[in-house]
Structure 1
Amino acid sequence: MTSTNYTINTRQKRKIYGIAGAVITLAVPFFLMLFNHDNHLETAQSLCPFKMLTGFPCPGCGITKSMVYFYSGDLSKSLHYHVLGRL
C-alpha cells in the first residue's frame, strides 16, 4: 500500500467520523425534545464536567437545552439558554 492510498483512506475515515459526529450532535437534542413531556429540562442538573468542578459555566453550557427548545419552536427559551443554540 502506498502512502497516497493510506492518506486517501485516512481522509475518508475522518470525513465519515465527522459526519457521524455531526449527526449524533444534532440527534441527541432532538430525542431529548421528544422525551421532555414533564419539562424536566428546566430543573435537570447540567452534566458539564467543567461546571460540576468549578461551578462556572463553560462556553458550551446550555447549548443542548437551547437546541431542544429551538426544535420545539420556543425561540425565547432557546436564546435564554444559549445564543448559539439557534444556529
Structure 2
Amino acid sequence: MLIRGTSESALLTSLGIGAVVVGACVPTSAVGDGPVLCPFRRLTGLPCPGCGLTRSFVYTMHGDLPAAFAAHAFGPPLVAFSLVAAVTAVVRRRRGHGAVDLRRAVRHPLVVVAVIAWLGYAVARAAVGT
C-alpha cells in the first residue's frame, strides 16, 4: 500500500480525477503558449511521452477536442478513462466490493495494447520533434 488504508487503485483514481478537476479549473488561455516545464524536453528538446497532457486535459474539459487531440492524442481518452475509473470505484465501494486489483488489471490485453500504442506515439512524436 502506498498510503496507509488506501489502495493503489484508489490513489491512482484520485490522481486521475484530480487532473480532470484541474483541467476544468484552468482556463485555456493559461496553457496556450506557456513556458516548457518538462525537464526531459528542456534537456533534450524532445517531447516526453506525457508532454502535452496538461494542455490536452484543459482543452478536453473545456470542450475543445480538436485542440485537445492536437496537444496529445491520448489526453481525451485518458480523461474519459479517469472518469470511468472513478465511477467504477464508487459503484464497487457501494456494492461492497474491494478495489480493483492493479496487478491483474495491468496485464489485461487492452491495457497492454494501450501502453504499446502510447509508447509508439511517443516515439513518433520524438522522431518528428513535436
Percent identical: 31
Cα RMSD of the aligned pairs, angstroms, is 2.3
Which residue of the partner structure matches residue 53 of structure 2?
A: 63
Q: Residue 49 of structure 1 aligns to which amino acid in structure 2?
A: P
SS at match of 2:74: helix
Which residue of the partner structure matches residue 3 of structure 1?
A: none
Unmatched tracts of structure 2, length 5 or more:
78-130
Which residue of the partner structure matches residue 73 of structure 1?
A: 63
Structure ranking higher in helix proportion? 1
Runs of 4 or more above 4 Å deviation = none
Q: Tell me how far 1:61 sits from its aligned partner.
A: 0.5
The one of 19, 25, 30 equivalent to 1:25 is 19
Q: Tell me how far 1:80 sits from its aligned partner.
A: 0.8
Instruction: With a CA cutoff of 8 Å and minimum separation of 6, indicate the structure with the bigger relative contact order.
Output: 2
- Residues paired across the two proteins, number: 75
Q: TM-score of the superposition, structure 2-length normalised?
A: 0.49
Unmatched tracts of structure 1, length 5 or more:
1-6
Query: 2:76 & 2:50 partners in 1: Cα distance?
Result: 13
Q: Tell me how far 1:32 sits from its aligned partner.
A: 1.4
Which residue of the partner structure matches residue 41 of structure 1?
A: 31
Native 8 Å contact 2:69 2:76 kept in 1:
yes
Q: TM-score of the superposition, structure 1-length normalised?
A: 0.69
Q: Tell me how far 1:50 sits from its aligned partner.
A: 0.6
Q: Determine which structure has more spread, i.e. the larger CA radius of gyration.
A: 1
